Structure 1
Amino acid sequence: MKIGILMTGHAVPELQERAGDYDAMFARLLAGRGFEFETYNVVDEQYPSAPDACDGWLITGSKHGAYEDHPWIPPLEEFIRAVYASGRPMIGVCFGHQIIAQALGGKVIKYPGGWSVGRTEYDLDGETFALNAWHQDQVTEVPQGAEVIGKSDFCAHAALVYDDRILTIQPHPEFGPDIVEDLIRLRGKGVVPDELLEGATARLDAPTDAARFADRMAAFFKKGA
């Protein structure tokens, strides 16, 4: 099954040198589950030809806000709506979660409550999933027809499904503790409050459920295949 990865940002250069860009992180997360991948750098205005160019679609995280004025965002939103209409499966993570909600009628804001970083526990369909977060923006208004299936104490709309065609999640299953540690060092200082960075650092050794969520992603992609 061929998954098109829609890159909406790039990892910082120092992180790319060690761990690759965001597409490489997702390829590792989903390795061994029967997928091949093709990357489209939509942040650089490289778009797929049509929803049927791949069997399924995955939208990555980004340093950008869904509400910001960038030339690549309106075409991405149009493509999201086209994929939704086509019925092909799509998964969005962090910025992907947010831009899908915005494209389908929801609202995304820079959350006044601040940041969520590091290992965080989520209630997902009645099960606890621990995943790594790195975000300030949140979906505050859910699109009509979307169902909230995941939340945390900090994020009320942490995971959504849209008619079993789209699955989105706010945290980063593709971020292992090594990536979070790098983000704390390379991107967190002076941006994220020190006490949050210290708390995230203290939780680096705690296990997450990234592999379990990767299984869920794979099942979601494959159920219509």
Structure 2
Amino acid sequence: MISTIVRRGIQYDTILLNLAPLTLVDETKEQYGSIGNLYKTFLEAGASKLEESELLERADLYVSSYDVVNKQDYPDLEKIDAVILTGSRYDAFTPGLNNWISKLVDFIRKMLQDRSRVRIIAVCFGHQIVGRAYGVMPERNDAGWEVSVTPVVLTESGKQLFGQESLALHQMHRDVLPRYSSSASVEPIGHSDHGDVQGIYVKNPSEFLERRHGSVLDEATYQDGKDRANDPHDGVTVGARFLMFLLEG
């Protein structure tokens, strides 16, 4: 799924951003070193796109990761500009070992209720966590896995957000939010053949092969996804829009 982005009114005097990815997955491979480095690389690609378009100056990104799974470690909201909820191999509709998922939902819910100045970017599993915080419980998708480069049809709000009619994005999930929250502040952004609730997706495409090696995907799903894995996609466009979201008032 794409992701959920929660916007708060804030004006930045500079474009120095302190980002706090909440680590919800095992550490990534040697290519990135950590999930924090992965997201820093992703956002820097988006920053380069904006710089080339002369839409804004280059942003300096400071990334500090927090292990909310094993250490249940959370950032001081007074010291950061944005929280990034990453993807994860866990099911967002469970409480998690030692209730770590329930505690994460409570943390995000409090941020939303307090209307914190800190913005939230949520990806895949994180998107589902924000859904839970808004009162919508994720569930297993009857349509099965959504994998590899996938077309996403944008709503009018989505078209305005990204400046194009549709997105092609790497996907890797079989859980979904069954509906949008009834909250007046939540606007539909897009949908796909496998899910009506799509928000903004960023994921390391290497996870596709890792999950196959773990025998999670059946052969037909694996082969179909493999055939589309190198298709053109809009990941950098999404990264650029993430940064615009973080920097706009």
Shared fold (TM-score greater than 0.5)? yes
Q: Which amino acid aligns with 1:92?
A: A
Are residues 31 and 212 of structure 1, via their aligned partners in 2, closer, same or farther at CA, if it must alter by over 3 Å?
same
Deviation at 1:69, TM superposition (A): 2.4
Are residues 196 and 41 of structure 1, via their aligned partners in 2, closer, same or farther at CA, if it must alter by over 3 Å?
same
Q: Within the alignment, does 1:134 sit opposite 2:172 as a pair?
A: yes
Higher relative contact order (CA 8 A, sep 6+): 2
Instruction: Quote the residue 1:76 is aligned against.
Output: 104
Contact 1:81–1:103 (CA under 8 A) maintained in structure 2: yes
Instruction: Quote the residue 1:155 is aligned against.
Output: 195
Distance 1:112 1:206 in 2: 26
Contact 2:92–2:129 (CA under 8 A) maintained in structure 1: yes
Instruction: Quote the residue 1:107 is aligned against.
Output: 137
TM-score, length basis structure 2: 0.76
Deviation at 1:22, TM superposition (A): 2.4
How much is the aligned-residue C-alpha RMSD, in angstroms?
A: 1.9
Distance 2:213 2:91 in 1: 19
Instruction: Quote the residue 1:183 is aligned against.
Output: 210
Are residues 139 and 155 of structure 1, via their aligned partners in 2, closer, same or farther at CA, if it must alter by over 3 Å?
same
User: Which among 57, 80, 90 is matched to residue 83 of structure 2?
Assistant: 57
Q: Which amino acid aligns with 1:58?
A: I
Deviation at 1:138, TM superposition (A): 0.2
Contact 1:129–1:208 (CA under 8 A) maintained in structure 2: yes
Are residues 93 and 137 of structure 1, via their aligned partners in 2, closer, same or farther at CA, if it must alter by over 3 Å?
same
Q: Which amino acid aligns with 1:213?
A: V
Q: What percentage of aligned pairs have identical amino acids?
A: 26
- Counterpart secondary structure, 2:230: coil
Instruction: Quote the residue 1:45 is aligned against.
Output: 71
Instruction: Quote the residue 1:123 is aligned against.
Output: 153
Please identify the structure whose Cα radius of gyration is greater: 2
Query: Unaligned regions of 5+ residues in structure 1, if any?
Result: 160-168
Deviation at 1:72, TM superposition (A): 1.1
Deviation at 1:181, TM superposition (A): 5.1
TM-score, length basis structure 1: 0.84
Are residues 22 and 197 of structure 1, via their aligned partners in 2, closer, same or farther at CA, if it must alter by over 3 Å?
same
Normalized per residue, the structure richer in strand is 1
